[in-house]
Each structure stands twice: as structure tokens, then as C-alpha cells.
A and B are shown apart, each in its own frame.
Chain A
Amino acid sequence: MSGFKTLSYRAALREALIEELERDPSVFVMGQDAGPFGGVFGVTKGLTEMFGVERVFDTPISEALIVGGGVGAALAGARPVVELQYADFALIAMDEIVNKAAKWRFMHGGGQSVPLVIRAPEGVVGGLGPEHSQSLAQYFWSSFGLKVAMPATPADAKGMLKSAIRDDDPVLFLENKSLYNRRGPVPEGEHLVPLGVASTWRAGSDVTVVAWSRMATVAAKAAEVLAGQGVECEIIDPRGISPFDLDAILASVERTGRLAVVHEGPVTGGLGGELITQVVERRFSALKAAPIRIAGADTYVPQNQDLEGLLTPDADAVTAALATLVQSSR
């Protein structure tokens, strides 16, 4: 039971769904093409065959129904896992996510639970254009009744999805499309990763690098290069935005004195601005340099894949920005 196996991020998510469907008869899965077809990204492949059409099934093209129906089913006592075909479609269901899933408990006095998981594939990849490629976590940091999870590794994908399904609060589960084929070790047997606990990918004394989802993998590559140049990065993956492990980041900034935030969505109004503000408000005196944001461009995602590639920072860009930050304040 103590071993590891190698799984893709996609297979890890699928394994989480299988285990939770087996464990709890109140869990069901629905979404556009999530039934026999197996989901456009293949995460639910074979699940209808295994569990029957009552447990894993297709919905109409009706995002308000998919999310709002999930809220209602959760209120009735079920544990729905709903799939939005692309995270972008969350914007069609904002009333259901922000006003219903997130607020129903609060506005009705606190006596109900909405144990809903909304799976949403996000991210800049594949020439899918401006309405199928967004990284939109920044829209949800002020949805206080909603949890937002963003796994970066196969192990986290599995362990966090299982935790999300068991959680009594609604969870927006953002899967990065470019990670679906990423392979990595996943613990054998029951594997749960708590929501909202940051993961330190690498310890280092020169700069705290906070990076989410795919950008954590990019930051990790940059850190390898920088280690050869005598710059030690501490890479922290918050694994989501709510709950948020600010303490882990503050403790790291106290050690390193420098902060860089790396995320895929646009710089403006993005995750970096909020996180840097929170750190500066609390640990200004620990900082040796102004914190920096390394993030997506302030524009929409073009369909042309050559241009799409310019949108988000690559390992070279992250390496250069981190090197400048550290060397200019030594």
C-alpha cells in the first residue's frame, strides 16, 4: 500500500472519480459529453459503462442548468460532480456559481450545505481561441463561499478531487488542459490531499516564488536553471485560491526577503496583485525588493498558436525575471 504508480493527470482525475463513485452512492457525474463519449478531454472515459447512465450522464448544452442543477441536487442531499466543458463556460453560469453555489448557505442563514464540485478545464493551449482558453481563477477570489482548487500534479489532481467531492462546500475545480498528459507518481491506495494547504516544491533562500497549476511546472524549470547560477528559489504552489495558505507564503517571504508571483491569467486584476498586496500589508519590512508579477499578457488568447505561445511566460522569461529580481537587490 505504500508504493507509488505513475499516472497522467487525466488518469489521476479519472481514478479519483471512480473511487468516489464506488465509495459513495450519492455521488454522480454530469456534463456536456461527459457520458458515454467520456468528456472532450477524456477524463470520464468509460465511467458510464462502469457505473451506468444514472450515475454518469450527458446534459443538454445548458450551463445554468449544469451548475444550478448541481446546486439544487446538492441541497437535496446528493454529491454532484458537474463538468463544464471549458472553464470559460463558467462565465455563462456566473449567477449559478457566484450567486447560488457560493452564497446559498450564507444568505439562508448557514443551515444548509452545497456539496457540489464544478470541474472546469482551463488554460492557454491548443489554439482554442479567446472563449476556450482562459485562465479565470481571478474572478473567484472574492467568492467567499466557494472553494477554488487548482492542482498542478497528477498526485494533487487525484487527492484534491477526492477531497473536493467529500467537502461540504462548493468547489470550483480548475484543471489545466495542458497538464492532462503530464505524468507523475501517485501514491497507491487511499490518497487525499487537503484543500487549501500549499505545497513547497523546492526550498530556497533567495526568493519566494508562488506559482499555480501549469505555471508551477514552469517556475520549477526556471529554478533548476537558476540553481546553476547560484540563485536558490523557494517554489510554493498554493494549490488553489480558497482556502488560501497565506501563512506558508508569509513564512517563506520572511526567510527569503523577496517575492515573485507567477500565474497564467492576465497581469491586470490577476492573482498576483491580490497576493502581493496581502504580503506587503503584513511583511513589508521583510522585503528587500519590490515584489514582481510574472503573468499572462493583458489581452485575449489568439487562435493562431504561434501568437498564443506569446501569451504566457515560458521558463526563459521566468528565469530572467527572477534573476533580475534577486541580483538587483543583493
Chain B
Amino acid sequence: MTDAQLLHAYRIMERSILLDQAVLRLIEEGSARLLLHSGRGQEAIGTGVCAALRDDDMLFYSHRGLIQLLAKGMQAGPLLGDFLGRVDGATKGLGAGIVHAVDPALGLMGSSGTLGGGFVLSAGAALGARKLGDDRVSVHIFGEGSANRGTFHEAANAAALWKLPMVWLCENNGLSVSVAHREATSIEDVADRAAAYGMPSRIVDGQDVEAVYDAMADAVARARAGDGPTLIEAKTLRFRGHYEGDPQTYRSKEDIAAAHQRDPLRITAEKLAARGIGEAQLAALRDEEARAMEVAVQAALASAKPGPDRIYQGLLAESAAA
């Protein structure tokens, strides 16, 4: 990655952490009733993936997808509006703890509420791009737990068979909600499954943004050239519970402490320091982001709540004007 790309990744990581903190504060203050699925610990993946994409490449983001939305270019304001259920939210007040933001102009295609539901959609989006004769790439980020859905296999088979322009990126944090990877999956590496479909795969350190970016850049180039899909497995770590408030009884304190030893934010800061971008510059960036987040929080709080008609809007094309 260039210095500018790496610094941007750091900025987005910082923004994502600030967004998590802002949302937690809103929950504590009683302003928001919601579930937050924090992506803390997995920031290098969304930032590494999106650094390798064009604006018009299509991203189906994962359950812990806030970082991915920010990295693809969505502003924090509409996401805060969504968390608060305000009309200026990304879904115009429909609101959600698990975000369902889209922005076709930024290639943000949405996220399946049923885990694993996105595999076939992302393959279909790649198929759609092919049929329209353009060179967009479709990317799907998913957790290792959802790779046990049949949809994974149906989509992987078709994507490889048809050489669809897509990249699968598995965020393997070792936990599907409370269930450990080894208790739910017959193999250690999800990447091994790619061979069964005649698809190349890579395993990367998901805490290292450059490792994710390098693998992703190769896979995107391959997809765009018409050579078909790639499965990348990023080994990563979930710092927090499945949702905020999760007591994490299924996990030892040592395990959680060990996870924090490999913080992608710090690893990125160290990389930047080695390139001569020091703490003073990062501190200035953090201040700037913190101020911007505060402005976004206040703007979201000032935004109106939707009227009762909102629940009937957007069902069909003619009812979409929300």
C-alpha cells in the first residue's frame, strides 16, 4: 500500500472505533435502543479490502460491517442516523442495530440478515455485471460460521463454473456467536474448500491491513481479467462479544486478553511509524476524526424521527419515496 492508502486505512479504523464508542454512549444515555455488533479487532479487513476496490465495485458487507461501510466511503452521519432511527439515517429512519445501509453509487449493495444469505446474491451481482458487459467486481465479506450454509456451496460452485468476477473474503474470527470454530466446522481452514470448486485461495493475517490488501488486489485483478473468483481467508480476532452486552461466558479472559495483543490499529500505526509518519501526525488525525464524529452525533440527534407511514414505505417501487 502507498503511504496515503495506509494512512487512509488508519483514519478509517480510527473512525470506526469512534463510531462504536459513540453508539455505545448513545445506548448508555438511553438515546438508542439497539444491538451493536462491534467489529473491533477486525478493522484491517474492511480497510484492506476496500483499498483494493473501485467505487463502482460491489460490496456485500458482513454482520460486523460498520468498518466495511466506512471504508467503502459511507459517512458516519447516516450510520448514526440509522442507529438512532432518524430520517437522516441511511435507511431513512427504518433503523437497525445491524446496519442495512446501501449506496449504489458507492457500490454498497447491502447485507443479508440471515447469515450466509449473501453468498448467492453476491454471485448473482457478479453475474449481473457480466451480463451487462461491464467490468465491476462483486465482493462478499462473510464470517467463517456462515460458510457452513448450503448457500456457500451453491454460490461457490456457480461462481467457479462461470468464472464470475468476484472475491469471497472470509473473516475467520474463530467464533460463530458463542460456538468455537472447531465445534462447528470439520476443517481448520475454510480456504481449503476452494479447491473443491476449482478456485484459488489464500490465507492471510487478518490483523495486517497490507496482507489483506495485497491478497485482495491480486484477487480483484484476476476477477476483472475474467479469470474467475478467489477465496481469501483472513484469520482475525473478535475483541468484543457477539453483541454489546454479551457476557461471553463461552470465552476465557485469557483468550480475550490475547486477542487484544494483536490490535490492527496499533499494527497499522507501527507500519506508519516505520515509514516516517509518527505519533504527532496520528494524534492530529485522531483529534480531527473525534471532532467530526461529535458533529455527526449532534446532527443525528437533531434529525427527526420518522412518522408512522414509514413502516409502509419502500415495500414496492411505487411506495419507495421515503
- In chain B, positions 254-272 with a C-beta closer than 8 Å to chain A are none
Is A96 engaged at the interface, CB distance under 8 Å to the other chain? yes
How far apart are A91's CB and chain B's nearest CB, in angstroms? 14
> A112 within 8 Å of B by Cβ?
yes
CA distance A81 to B281 in the complex (A): 54
A99 contact from B117, B127, B129, B150, Cβ within 8 A: B117
Name which of A55, A77, A104, A110 has the most chain B CB atoms within 10 A of its CB: A110
Question: A180 vs B313: C-alpha distance in the bound complex, in angstroms?
Answer: 37
B117 x A111 contact (CB < 8 A) = no
Query: Which of A67-75, A264-272, A281-289 contacts its partner?
Result: A67-75
Q: Is the Cβ of B127 less than 8 Å from the Cβ of A62?
A: no
Asked whether A111 and B320 contact (CB < 8 A) given A60-B161, A68-B151, the answer is yes
Q: What residue of chain B has the Cβ atom nearest to residue A63's Cβ?
A: B154
B92 touches A110 (CB 8 A): yes
Closest beta carbon of chain A to B309's beta carbon, Å:
12
Binary interface encoding of chain A residues 49-62 relative to chain B, with 1 for a CB under 8 A from any of its CBs, else 0: 00000110001101
B91-124 CB mask vs A (1 if < 8 Å, else 0) is 1101010001111100001101110010111111
Chain B residue with the shortest CB-CB distance to A102: B315
Say how far A168's CB is from chain B's closest CB, in angstroms: 4
- Contact residues in A for B112 (Cβ distance below 8 Å): 99-100
Q: Is there an interface contact between A78 and B131, defined as CB atoms closer than 8 Å?
A: yes
* Docked-complex contact A109 and B322, CB < 8 angstroms: yes
Total CB contacts across the A-B interface at under 8 A: 157
**Chain B: which residue is nearest A111 at the CB level?**
B102
CB-contacts of B32-88 with A (<8 A): 58
Most buried by A among B102, B114, B161: B102
- The one of B90, B110, B122, B161 in contact with A104, judged by C-beta atoms closer than 8 angstroms, is B110
Which of A71, A95, A109 meets B94, CB within 8 Å?
Answer: A109
User: Is the CB–CB distance between A75 and B121 below 8 Å?
Assistant: yes
Tell me the bound Cα distance from A96 to B313 in angstroms: 21
B16 contacts the other chain (Cβ, under 8 Å)?
no
CB neighbors of A among B273-322 (8 A): 313-317, 319-322
How close is B88's CB to chain A, nearest CB, in angstroms?
A: 11
Pairwise interchain contact A65-B120, C-beta atoms closer than 8 A: yes
Among A54, A64, A108, contact of B102 (Cβ-Cβ < 8 Å):
A108
* Interchain CB contact under 8 A, B154 and A65: yes
B196 contacts A by Cβ under 8 Å:
no
A105 touches B (CB below 8 Å): yes
Could you say which residues of chain B place their CB within 8 Å of the CB of A26? Answer: 131-132
Size bin of chain B's contact surface? 35 or more
Is A145 a contact partner of B101 (Cβ separation < 8 A)? no
Hey, which chain A residues are within 8 Å of B58, CB to CB?
A: 75-76
Contact A145 B315 (CB under 8 A): yes
Q: How many residues of A contact B (CB 8 A)?
A: 42
Answer whether residue B136 sits at the interface, using C-beta atoms and an 8 A cutoff: yes
CB distance from A66 to the nearest CB of B (A): 8
Q: Does A154 contact B (CB under 8 A)?
A: no
Cβ-closest chain A residue relative to B89: A109
Residue on B nearest A96 in the bound complex, by CB = B120
Please tell me if the beta carbons of A72 and B100 are within 8 angstroms of each other in the complex: no
Quick check: B317 and A108 within 8 Å, CB to CB?
no
Q: Which residues of B contact A60 (CB under 8 A)?
A: 154, 157-158, 161
Least Cβ–Cβ distance between B97 and chain A, in angstroms = 13
**Residues on the B chain within 8 Å of A140, using CB:** none
A123 within 8 Å of B (CB atoms)? no
Could you say which of A28, A72, A74, A113 contacts B126, with CB atoms under 8 Å apart?
A72
Q: Is B128 an interface residue (CB 8 A)?
A: yes
Are A99 and B154 in touch, CB under 8 angstroms? no
Query: Is there contact, CB below 8 Å, between B154 and A107?
Result: no
Measured CB to CB, the closest approach of chain A to B128, in angstroms, equals 3
Contacts A60-B161, A65-B155; A168 near B127 (Cβ below 8 A): no
Query: Could you tell me the distance in whole angstroms from the C-beta of A145 to the nearest C-beta in chain B?
Result: 5
A80 interface hit (Cβ, 8 Å): yes
- Asked if A108 and B100 sit within 8 Å, CB to CB, the answer is yes
* Chain B nearest CB, measured from A115 CB (Å): 9
A201 on the B face (CB < 8 A): no
Closest to A99 in B: B114
The 8 A CB mask of A292-321 against B (1 = contact, 0 = none) is: 000000000000000000000000000000
A62 touching B158 by the CB < 8 A rule?
yes
B19 is an interface residue with CB less than 8 A from chain A: no
- The reply on B138 being an interface residue by CB < 8 A is yes
Going nearest first, the 6 A-B pairs with the smallest beta carbon separation are A72-B124, A110-B314, A68-B120, A76-B128, A109-B91, A73-B128
- Given A60-B157, A71-B120, A109-B101, 6 other A-B residues pairs in contact with their CB atoms under 8 A: A68-B120, A68-B121, A73-B131, A75-B128, A80-B131, A112-B102
A-B contact pairs, 21 of them (CB 8 A): A28-B131, A60-B154, A60-B157, A60-B158, A64-B150, A64-B154, A69-B123, A71-B124, A72-B124, A75-B121, A107-B96, A107-B100, A107-B110, A108-B110, A109-B92, A109-B100, A110-B319, A110-B321, A111-B103, A168-B317, A169-B316
Give residues in A with beta carbon < 8 Å to B.
26, 28, 54-55, 59-60, 62, 64-65, 67-78, 80, 95-96, 99-100, 104-113, 144-145, 147, 167-169
